[in-house]
Amino acid sequence: MTDHDLALALLSDMVRVRHMEEKCAELYGETKIRGFLHLYVGEEAVAAGSLRALTADDAVVATYREHAHALLRGIPMTSIMAEMFGKQEGCSRGRGGSMHLFDARRGFYGGNAIVAGGLPLAVGLALANSMQDRKGIVACYFGDGAVAEGAFHESLNLAALWRLPVLFCCENNLYAMGTALDRAQSQTDLSAKAASYKVPTAAVDGMDVEACHAAAQQGADHIRTAGGPFFIEFRTYRFRAHSMFDPELYREKAEVEGWRKRDPIELFSEKCLHEGVLSSDDIAAIGTAADQELNEAVAFADAGTWESIEDLERDVLTPTPGGTR
């Protein structure tokens, strides 16, 4: 069983993410958050467990469902929420919104709205690390739908050929938007696809935060010691629809409720209590701290400022030497 300090950190990370995501859904209903919004509810064990295996020298590339990764990589919740609101105090100055959180100072190289779009970017970052003798690895998060894209195969192939330090983290939640995995891909063992490129792999229960942490630590250690990439398939499930626009007509309510019984936060909390690793006071304090952090983040975003009209073209169009655009 995980020791007290790590258990406290893992549970705190999951609860912070859950509270933030549920609040985002509420704020979306109030139209304070607009545009597309893809929530991570149910998948918290993956981000919480795996990101704890990284160091400050490492980099992270994520998908459009990236709020959890951004938060747990160290981007303040205030900065994330301001970005959600479209305020210029946000981590992308209000120009990216939910799908484009970014903070290079913290090694977080963005969410990406294109399915599999982050994979080539991660390979490029890892190539730069290799060529410049930097010791960091690149953790790349993507869903099961990305595995059907050509960019996945090209990226795995190059990472294996050039022995690049990429930790490929596949968040297999069984649905690519509304298409079930077994209706779109003939080989549903996604780790087998990575293994075909001679990349070492692991497949793990993505609802078990300890298992996610152990697998990520195994992968990161392998990259740091043996070199080359490593692939992990985190078998998880999202409790909410694909996005706030999704009527969710493609899966039965009984299926969702069945997975909700494996809520990673509830399972880990119960295990920690049963084994005496955490107390009920510890767990209550985690919830209180998460609520306080969230309230401060929403207040910060509410008080944020809109970008001025005069700045709307800044960083969008580049003036020519003659002064015209």
Would the pLDDT of 323 be above 80? Answer: no
- pLDDT in the model for residue 310: 87
- pLDDT in the model for residue 194: 97
Would the pLDDT of 197 be above 80? Answer: yes
Domain hosting 294: range is 4-309
Tell me whether residue 319 is in a domain: no
The CA–CA distances, whole Å, from 27 to 19, 31, 85, 199 equal 12, 6, 9, 42
- pLDDT in the model for residue 322: 65
Angstrom distance (rounded) from CA 120 to CA 190: 18
Tell me whether residue 102 is in a domain: yes
Give pLDDT tens digits for 15-39.
Answer: 999 999 999 999 999 999 999 999 9
Q: What percent of the chain has pLDDT over 90?
A: 93
Tell me whether residue 116 is in a domain: yes
Tokens of 263: 């809520």
Would the pLDDT of 190 be above 60? Answer: yes
pLDDT category at 254 given cuts 50, 70, 90 is very high
Tell me whether residue 208 is in a domain: yes
Tell me whether residue 60 is in a domain: yes
Tell me whether residue 314 is in a domain: no
Angstrom distance (rounded) from CA 211 to CA 50: 9
Tell me whether residue 324 is in a domain: no
- CATH code at position 166: 3.40.50.970
How many domains is the chain partitioned into structurally?
1
- Position of tokens 């484009």? 100
Phi-psi region of 217 (alpha: psi -120 to 50; beta: other; left: phi over 0): alpha
Angstrom distance (rounded) from CA 129 to CA 263: 37
Angstrom distance (rounded) from CA 9 to CA 19: 15
CA angle 66, 161, 224 (to 5 degrees): 60
Tell me whether residue 233 is in a domain: yes
Would the pLDDT of 268 be above 90? Answer: yes
Give pLDDT tens digits for 78-131.
Answer: 999 999 999 999 999 999 999 999 999 999 999 999 999 999 999 999 999 999
